[in-house]
A and B are shown apart, each in its own frame.
Chain A
Amino acid sequence: MHRAQIKLCNELREISPHVKNMKQLEYVVLARRVSQIKEELRQGVRKPYKEVIDVSWGDPHRAGLKPLTFVRQVLSTCLYPELMNSNRLPADVRQRAQRLLGGCAGGSVGSYTATEGIPEIVHSVSEFITRRDGGVPSDPENIYISPGSQWALTNILNVLVNREASTRTGVLTPMPCHSATTLGIMGLGGVVVPYYLSEEQGWELQVEDLHQALESAKGVCNPVALYVINPGNPSGQVQSRKSMQEVIRFVSERRLFLLADEVYQDCIYGENSEFVSYKKVLTEMGPPLSDTVELASFHSASKGFMGECGLRGGYVELVNLDPAVLKYIKTLFSTDSCAPVLGQLALDLMMNPPQPGDPSYPLYDMETQHIRTTLVHNAKRAVSVLNSLQGFCCQPVEGGAFAFPRVYLPPKAIQKAKEVGMQPDTFYCIRLLEEAGLLFSAGCEYGQKEGTHHIRYNTTDEIKRYSKYSINKYHIKTVFSSGQIPAWLKISGQIQKDIKSNCAL
């Protein structure tokens, strides 16, 4: 190589240190192997399974849930308005499409929109929030629609994280937490300050853990924000009102900005669980808290009944922010131009579904009931099956889309993982993939207490897919039941005792 070439390559290795600090996703290793296995299966290589079943994504449609008919009918009509000139589609579909196109410049979903979103849709969002929160007012001026909730979160983090300061900015983040957020914080030059959820109490958020997190940050960074996920991802817990009040008091006392990720608010399964928004709880607590605690809450059309992850429609509502700062936030969002229009339309359809009496209502109602029943059933079934398997201990899934069971790995397995240079739970996932054709994601991706291991499993999966791999489930059972456990996976008697005592069965 020419000297000049070597120099350039070396120089280009000088990239942003924040990006370099971001953890490489464990998922990349697994995804690569999945591609290879899929190719091998295509070429007829014999395996103990016919297909790879991927239960690692938080993606309802990929997991087999169908899009809502009304939503897709309206979107297709907005895309191709010729569909309005016929009776192919129900009257309410055509009316809604007409109304939505009326809010688009030039009557086209191909136009840019206002930075914060199509005004009529932003109003819809604020009205939805008010309805949801039992009348608490919501100001459309404080709402920004974005390409998915993570995009808005990244923008808000960008304002909070001061890269120029001598002390780095910290964000309190739950362990476990989905990786997009932790990577986002690191990519901006911020520090993830973990607070550990209490696994044995169903992944409950306990204020003592928040205090401990702040302690751990002393001398390391300057914490400015607290990020909570409710319902939890991957933890599946739904916060109690009492816990939320404690969090609000905590952020007020400790002067932290509250970031509330509430994208799973429509996915509630536990009989005794109820979603209430941080904004509502904050308002109920009255002044001065309700007037002072700075809050950003996030929601999207990616989860719940809609499951429209690919359309990238989300929003943030900002509460009690300094108006001077809000101006800069607006400019920051403006550099993104606007959220994709189909994503914005999806949000409107989510907030304003068909009502009783509308032609599309019966089908809409049937479809959403089916989804609700499926989600609840699958979540319960997943937990009970996982808890019936030796070596697994799974907390109840009250909400969200995932189970995050603890996997007890014997020392030999952990040793083997070290030898091949992998995290133990990644190693476990690879072996499970190889031997059972099942793709979970590894707990280390999300953060966990030292010495524990977990896997994340998307419980959305349709029942029929589930029974399709009950053969595989049996396979797991045979692989792990006593007498047939591979040496590397034998679980000691002590660990079995621990499992029994820790598991919330």
Chain B
Amino acid sequence: GTWCPLNMSQQAVNGVSHRGKVLTLDSMNPNVKRVEYAVRGPIVQRAVQIEKELKEGVKKPFTEVIKANIGDAHAMGQKPITFLRQVLALCSYPELLEDNMFPEDAKKRARRILESCGGHSIGAYSASQGIECIRQDVARYIERRDGGIPSSPDNIYLSTGASDAIVTMLKLLVCGEGRSRTGVMISIPQYPLYSAALADLGAVQISYYLDEDKCWSLDVAELRRALNAARQHCNPRVLCIINPGNPTGQVQSRQCIEDVIRFAKEEHLFLMADEVYQDNVYAEGCKFHSFKKVLFEMGPEYSSTVEMASFHSTSKCYMGECGFRGGYMEVINMDPEVKAQLTKLVSVRLCPPVPGQALLDLVVNPPQPDEPSYTTFMKERTAVLAALAEKARLTEETFNTVPGITCNPVQGAMYTFPRITLPQKAIDKAKEEGQVPDMYYCMRLLEEEGICLVPGSGFGQREGTFHFRMTILPPTEKLKVVLQKIREFHLRFTQEFS
């Protein structure tokens, strides 16, 4: 806002100078310019445009755009779980508690949640850390999940989706200048929230490659390589891991998790374990192991020293309630002074959405075998997870029949990240168009078939390789059609550029 002498010569109407804007590309925070988020990026914007065109009656080779770019189960037709919505409806309009349309166990939970809200309303602010009794329930859930390992509600922070908590932790941890700037390790490929947050914070991203040939598994030797290289130009302090993986879908073995924990301890790294897909495990022989459980089972040498945060949310698993923005993190072995700083940070957000908090409470407190809603709840939950498992298998199977597409097993999560072989001519054409090759490929697919995927370049991949991420969420019949169309497109595309 200081007066620039260069503008003195500009005369103007009404004495106001016609100077340039205050907020320009030059004056704005340069870090924001580096932020990208492919999941909602240019290809999605084009998809939305095409949808508008379809609505306006423009003729296209397809009648709808299938948005297989984002992990949104309900958008793809998955039904909400009845019990969850019943309780939320009761919380929203408590007069319904008098209505015999709703079962007793739903009413009981609604009453308990309302009791914990200011003015008995989900419209009141909650404490910034989240409603206390819900944090207690989350802690108990974690204890049950992890075979009795204690969890304290004071270490639970409810958040606006897991993303909010992840960004908050990074905000807390990133500091230093130049060569001592905080370095954060994240997988390639990764969910681009991480790269976006690191760009925004001006942190140094330390990429470690998952091994595509070994089913996207994580090798500690690779972690070590990446870390040692990074030490030259930054101060590595954080290791982020997504398990089950996004976009890769791999479920880490217990041994691997132990190795990662050992590595984090040796190298003095804060561990961030993104576990939002913990219920989405499909493959035979694969099992979700929570980082916290493994940590504690490794004994006090680790469990009392390794500093960690694990993240979960209501957006995935069997609930798929993305629109509620419900989530939490549990912090482990955090220095009390650091916790005090964390408390300040979360207060700027005021509080996480209360309906999301209420939803989380139901997820950690589902109907029990002796309750009226149990049977229906379990039936719906099982159906959702079974459908996902089937779709995971179908997707892998189908893609692997296409010459030029290789697909690792979708062990968990909600995505497939197949590798595509692109003819050199196609790569050249992409360059001509000013696009990275897999973006060119995906754009062509969108324009020709109305299927919206996200190019692998949006997640990171080894130089010279190309991928795309597709969700496995469309209903099975539609998914079959989508897979077929991609198959046909790929063959056509390869033919065109042969």
- A interface, CB within 8 angstroms of B: 2, 4-5, 7-9, 11-17, 19-20, 22-25, 28, 31, 57, 59-67, 72-73, 75-77, 79-80, 82-83, 86, 88, 104-106, 108-115, 147-148, 150-151, 154, 158-164, 179-180, 183-184, 187, 214, 222-225, 252-257, 287-289, 292, 294, 306-312, 320-322, 324-325, 328-329, 331-332, 334-343
Q: Is B48 engaged at the interface, CB distance under 8 Å to the other chain?
A: yes
Binary A-proximity of B12-55 (CB < 8 A = 1, otherwise 0): 11101011011111011111110111001100000010000000
Q: Is B351 engaged at the interface, CB distance under 8 Å to the other chain?
A: yes
- B interface, CB within 8 angstroms of A: 1-3, 12-14, 16, 18-19, 21-25, 27-33, 35-37, 40-41, 48, 70, 72-78, 80, 85-86, 88-90, 92-93, 96, 99, 101, 117-119, 121-127, 160-161, 163-164, 171-176, 193, 196-197, 200, 202, 237, 265, 268, 270, 304-305, 307, 319-325, 334-335, 337-338, 340-341, 343-345, 347-356
Measured between alpha carbons, how far is A69 from B442 in the docked complex, in Å? 47
A325 contacts across to B, CB distance below 8 A: 21, 23-25, 28
B237 contacts across to A, CB distance below 8 A: 11, 14
Q: Are B121 and A288 in contact (CB under 8 A)?
A: no
Q: Given A8-B305, A164-B30, A337-B325, are A14 and B176 neighbors across the interface (CB < 8 Å)?
A: yes
B334 contacts across to A, CB distance below 8 A: 12
Q: Are A335 and B193 in contact (CB under 8 A)?
A: yes
Q: Are A24 and B344 in contact (CB under 8 A)?
A: yes
Least distance between B158 CB and chain A CB atoms (Å): 12
Least distance between A329 CB and chain B CB atoms (Å): 8
Which residue of the partner chain A has the closest CB to B19? A255
Q: Given A8-B268, A12-B307, A325-B25, are A224 and B341 neighbors across the interface (CB < 8 Å)?
A: no
B73 contacts across to A, CB distance below 8 A: 110
A-B contact pairs, 26 of them (CB 8 A): A19-B172, A25-B347, A61-B121, A62-B118, A63-B119, A67-B123, A76-B96, A80-B86, A109-B324, A110-B324, A147-B349, A150-B348, A159-B28, A164-B29, A183-B347, A187-B348, A256-B1, A257-B23, A289-B14, A308-B123, A325-B24, A325-B28, A331-B32, A334-B37, A340-B325, A342-B92
Q: Are A310 and B323 in contact (CB under 8 A)?
A: no
Which among B25, B123, B172 has the greatest number of chain A C-beta atoms within 10 A?
A: B123
Q: Are A64 and B160 in contact (CB under 8 A)?
A: no
A28 contacts across to B, CB distance below 8 A: 343
Q: Given A75-B93, A79-B89, A115-B40, are A256 and B22 neighbors across the interface (CB < 8 Å)?
A: yes
Q: Are B70 and A112 in contact (CB under 8 A)?
A: yes
Measured between alpha carbons, how far is A219 from B60 in the docked complex, in Å? 61
Q: Are B270 and A57 in contact (CB under 8 A)?
A: no
Query: Which of A63, A75, A77, A110 contacts B323, CB < 8 Å?
Result: A110
Q: Are A342 and B353 in contact (CB under 8 A)?
A: yes
Measured between alpha carbons, how far is A96 from B118 in the docked complex, in Å? 28
Q: Are A340 and B324 in contact (CB under 8 A)?
A: yes
Q: Are B350 and A309 in contact (CB under 8 A)?
A: yes
Q: Are A336 and B123 in contact (CB under 8 A)?
A: no
Q: Are B21 and A20 in contact (CB under 8 A)?
A: no
Least distance between A454 CB and chain B CB atoms (Å): 20
Measured between alpha carbons, how far is A115 from B37 in the docked complex, in Å? 12
Q: Given A20-B341, A289-B16, are A180 and B21 neighbors across the interface (CB < 8 Å)?
A: no
Q: Are B323 and A109 in contact (CB under 8 A)?
A: yes
Q: Are B323 and A112 in contact (CB under 8 A)?
A: yes
Measured between alpha carbons, how far is A108 from B75 in the docked complex, in Å? 7
B127 contacts across to A, CB distance below 8 A: 31
Q: Assuming A162-B27, A180-B348, what are 11 further A-B pairs, CB within 8 angstroms?
A: A5-B305, A62-B124, A72-B92, A158-B32, A179-B347, A222-B1, A255-B3, A256-B22, A311-B354, A337-B325, A342-B355
Which residue of the partner chain A has the closest CB to B20? A322
A331 contacts across to B, CB distance below 8 A: 32, 35-37, 41
Which residue of the partner chain B has the closest CB to A257? B22
Q: Are A288 and B14 in contact (CB under 8 A)?
A: yes
B21 contacts across to A, CB distance below 8 A: 292, 294, 320-322, 325
Q: Are A19 and B78 in contact (CB under 8 A)?
A: no
Least distance between A459 CB and chain B CB atoms (Å): 16
Q: Are A76 and B28 in contact (CB under 8 A)?
A: no
Which residue of the partner chain B has the closest CB to A14? B175
Least distance between A29 CB and chain B CB atoms (Å): 12
Which residue of the partner chain B has the closest CB to A107? B74
A150 contacts across to B, CB distance below 8 A: 348-350
Q: Given A28-B343, A343-B353, are A254 and B1 neighbors across the interface (CB < 8 Å)?
A: yes
A307 contacts across to B, CB distance below 8 A: 123
B270 contacts across to A, CB distance below 8 A: 12
Which residue of the partner chain B has the closest CB to A254? B1
Q: Are A61 and B123 in contact (CB under 8 A)?
A: yes
Measured between alpha carbons, how far is A212 from B45 in the docked complex, in Å? 46
Least distance between B268 CB and chain A CB atoms (Å): 5
Q: Are B160 and A76 in contact (CB under 8 A)?
A: no
A338 contacts across to B, CB distance below 8 A: 323
Measured between alpha carbons, how far is A474 from B498 in the docked complex, in Å? 90
Query: Which of A7, A160, A183, A294 contacts B348, CB < 8 Å?
Result: A183
Least distance between A175 CB and chain B CB atoms (Å): 19
Which residue of the partner chain B has the closest CB to A218? B2
Q: Are A151 and B35 in contact (CB under 8 A)?
A: no
